[in-house]
Structure 1
Amino acid sequence: MDFEALKTTTLTFVETHKEWAPLIIAVLAFCESLAFLSILVPATVLLVAIGALIGASGIPFWPMVIAGGIGAGLGDWVSYEIGRYFQHGAKSIWPMSRYPQMVAKGEDFCRRYGAWGIVIGRFIGPARAVVPLIAGMFEVARLPFQLANWSSAFVWAFVWLAPGAGVISFFNA
């Protein structure tokens, strides 16, 4: 299945089965935030497209933001725990092993910004799923990581869904 067919199928399903929209958004946000899986799933484009569908079809905005925030927060949390578990051995796992320069940049980023790097990294495309993994590898303390993770997850979900939903419609939801 090509990307355009996947996008059309997903949007048609969400429009037809609006009650499934929060779960679909949560799963897409999880996939977008989970190390390695974010490379395989075109979640960002789908989230923006679903945001437009929210504005056009009367799907309530705020439950979708909450669902997206939960999915993104869980994805980063799992990535962080994978990094803590494997520590520096995670560097030998694909795709980290294929992009050592990206890992080095992520390491420098985590050293420089600590838990704040999670907030910043969430909004930088390729870094989004890698920074939590690297934060786990370098054992950034769990509490600061989780505070940064969950607060930025909901802001991230809002940022991706709001433009399509329209500035006025999300305040009316």
Structure 2
Amino acid sequence: MGLEGYARQVLDFVEAHAHWAPWIAFILAFGESLVVVSLFVPATFILVGFGALIAAGGAPFLPVWAAAAIGAALGDAVSYWIGHHFKDRAPRAWPLRNFPGLLARGERFFLRFGVWGVFFGRFSGPLRAIVPLIAGMFAMPPLLFQIANVTSAMLWALLLLAPSAAAMKALGY
């Protein structure tokens, strides 16, 4: 099954069971932000579709937004902890060792932008889960990391959900 089929199944489930929407948004955002798992979870595409469901009255905006933001922030926090705990061993572990170019790109990005790299890395698909890992590996102060992590997760969730919700409202759905 392709990405579109997978997304359709998830969105159909949420449409039929709107009370699960915040939990599913949390799980998708967590997986999308967690190092390694993010390579296999196509959450961004699905979360954009959640906005349309919200506008159609299938799910409440605030709980879905909060759940997506919390899931994303928690996924990055776990990635940061993995980097902090495993330091130099993390890049040699499977499957990270199969992506040396991505790790090098994430490292350059983090070293160039620091805390802003954590914030803006959230908005770059390939870097989303790698930058927090690298921030942990380089022992970025936890408070600075969490400030960038939480604020970027809140904005990221809003930018994924709100446009399609607003478009559907404007179209009268």
How far apart, in 2, do the equivalents of 1:71 and 1:113 lie?
Answer: 24
Matches for 1:1-173 after TM superposition, within 5 Å: 1-166=1-166, 169=169
CA shift, 1:50, in A, is 1.5
Q: SS at 1:62's partner residue?
A: helix
Q: CA deviation at 1:57?
A: 2.8
Answer whether contact 2:18 2:58 (CA < 8 A) is retained. Answer: no
Structure 1, 48-57 or 17-26: larger mean CA deviation? 48-57
Q: Report how many aligned residue pairs link the two structures.
A: 170
More divergent stretch after superposition (98-107 vs 8-17): 98-107
Q: Residue type of the partner of 1:112?
A: R
CA distance in 2, matches of 1:163, 1:47: 11
- The amino acid of 1:101's aligned partner reads G
Cα deviations by residue, 1:67-92 (Å, 9 ceiling, x for unpaired): 11000000000000000111011111
Quick one: distance in 1 between partners of 2:99 and 2:6?
28
After TM superposition, give the deviation of residue 58 of structure 1 in Å.
4.5
Which one-letter code corresponds to 1:47 in the other structure?
L
- Provide, for residues 30-66 of structure 1, a one-character-per-residue CA deviation record: whole Å limited to 9, x for no partner: 0100011011111111111111211123422122111
Shift in Å, 1:13: 1.1
**RMSD of the TM alignment (CA)?**
1.7
Given the two structures, how large is their TM-score scaled by the length of structure 2?
A: 0.92
User: Mind listing any 5+ residue stretches in structure 1 that lack a counterpart?
Assistant: none
Question: Contact 1:15 / 1:57 at 8 angstroms: preserved in 2?
Answer: no
Secondary structure of 1:153's counterpart equals: helix
Q: Which moved more, 1:158-167 or 1:19-28?
A: 158-167
CA contact (8 A) 1:73 1:149 kept: yes
Residue type at the aligned position of 2:115: A
Partner AA of 1:5 in structure 2: G
Please give the alpha-carbon distance, in whole angstroms, between the structure 1 residues aligned to 2:102 and 2:6: 29
Change (3 A) 1:143 1:160: same
137 and 91 in structure 1: CA distance in 2 versus 1, 3 angstrom threshold: same
> How far 1:103 sits from its partner (Å)?
1.4
Gaps of 5+ in 2: none
